[in-house]
Amino acid sequence: MKTTMKTKRFFLAALLAFCGIAAAQQQQASNNTLKPVSEFDKIADKQERAIALFTEAGKVINSPRCLNCHPAGDRPTQTNALNPHQPWVVRGADGSGAAAMRCATCHQAANYDNARMPGHPTWHLAPASMAWQGRTLGQICEQIKDKSRNDNMDMAKLVHHMAEDTLVGWGWNPGAGRTPAPGTQKEFGALIKAWAEAGAFCPRS
Ligand code: HEC
Ligand code: HEC
């Protein structure tokens, strides 16, 4: 009796794992590249071009590598399924965790693949004003431009942050067993720069 239950559970777990892998691979195949900026040149209308550019960049913004650190609440999420972070950790006053559970206790300066541990010298959670999970791309677009929410960054600083910041860059170098963000940081930065130059209009939804 006990063994049957165990066997059933084992098969269920194996099946779920298999479905997860299949779904992840499918998603990866269709979403892991970014179109070059030149593909958007043919859109004559500036506003439409800006929206199309940001929508393409949105493949990165909406990737789990970015969303996991831009959660809706005080707790980061993990994996491509955006599961709540295990163990329970919170943002804390400075984004680096509560006094007794600092991010850097586990997250070191670099990825540690043997333990599936992502790392970066300044690993910490985005402030609550920069929460992306549960928001539409249009809403995220409006809020990242809003100086009262984005750490007072003007457009030049914002473009620089996306194109050059190494914590953002971790998204393309996330360590073994993690799907990187689509394309490259350089391609992403170029899309954001072109979006800014076209007037930084946001998707309507
Ligand atoms: C390890 C956590 C972490 C990851 C991963 C992360 N971010 Fe952030 N993000 C932050 C923090 C923290 C800030 C606040 C600024 C700072 O302290 O560097 C921030 C701020 C930002 C901002 C400023 C504007 C705003 O309103 O959000 C942008 C844009 C941004 N991140 C983009 C990205 C993108 C794109 C990715 C994925 C490729 C990403 N981030 C992945 C932690 C992270
Ligand atoms: C007790 C150890 C521990 C502490 C403390 C900790 N983490 Fe983690 N964190 C982990 C482990 C382990 C993983 C990898 C889980 C996996 O993907 O299997 C992880 C993964 C993550 C991820 C998911 C990365 C991705 O996209 O796959 C984020 C985001 C994250 N942690 C943020 C934080 C932040 C922010 C803090 C501090 C507020 C923090 N963690 C504190 C152990 C910890």
- pLDDT tens digits, 32-58: 999 999 999 999 999 999 999 999 999
Tell me if 179 sits within 8 A of 65, measured CB to CB: yes
pLDDT at 16: 45
Q: What is the residue-averaged pLDDT of the chain?
A: 90
pLDDT band, residue 196 (cuts 50/70/90): very high
**Nearest ligand to residue 195 Cα:** 1
In the reported structure, the alpha carbon of residue 13 is separated from the centroid of ligand 1 by a whole-number distance in angstroms of 34
Percent over 90 (pLDDT), the chain: 84
pLDDT at 7: 53
Pocket of ligand 2 (CB under 6 A): 64-65, 68-69, 76, 78-79, 85, 87, 89, 91, 97, 101, 103, 105-107, 116-118, 124-125, 178
**Nearest ligand to residue 77 Cα:** 2
Question: Per-residue pLDDT for 105 more than 80?
Answer: yes
Question: Per-residue pLDDT for 85 more than 50?
Answer: yes
The domain of 106 spans 34-197
- Distance CA(53)–CA(194), nearest Å, equals 7
Tell me if 96 sits within 8 A of 85, measured CB to CB: no
Domain for residue 66, yes or no? yes
Question: What's the domain count of the chain?
Answer: 1
Domain for residue 18, yes or no? no
Residue 129 CA, closest ligand 1 atom number:
26
Domain for residue 144, yes or no? yes
Chain centre to alpha carbon of residue 120: 15
User: Quick one: average pLDDT of 66-77?
Assistant: 98
Residue 29 vs residues 7, 67, 152, 182: alpha-carbon distances, Å: 33, 20, 37, 10
Domain for residue 128, yes or no? yes
Question: Per-residue pLDDT for 60 more than 60?
Answer: yes
Going by C-alpha positions, the residue among 77, 36, 55, 35 that lies closest to residue 137 is: 55
Domain for residue 77, yes or no? yes
Pocket of ligand 1 (CB under 6 A): 60-61, 65-66, 69-70, 95, 123-127, 130, 143-144, 149-151, 161-162, 167-168, 170-171, 181
pLDDT at 15: 42
Domain for residue 9, yes or no? no
Domain for residue 23, yes or no? no
pLDDT 10s digits, 133-170 = 999 999 999 999 999 999 999 999 999 999 999 999 99
pLDDT band, residue 194 (cuts 50/70/90): very high
Domain for residue 27, yes or no? no
Tokens 């900026």 appear where? 37
In three-state secondary structure terms, 60 is helix
Full-prediction pTM beyond 0.85?
A: yes
* Nearest Cα residue to atom 4 of ligand 1: 69
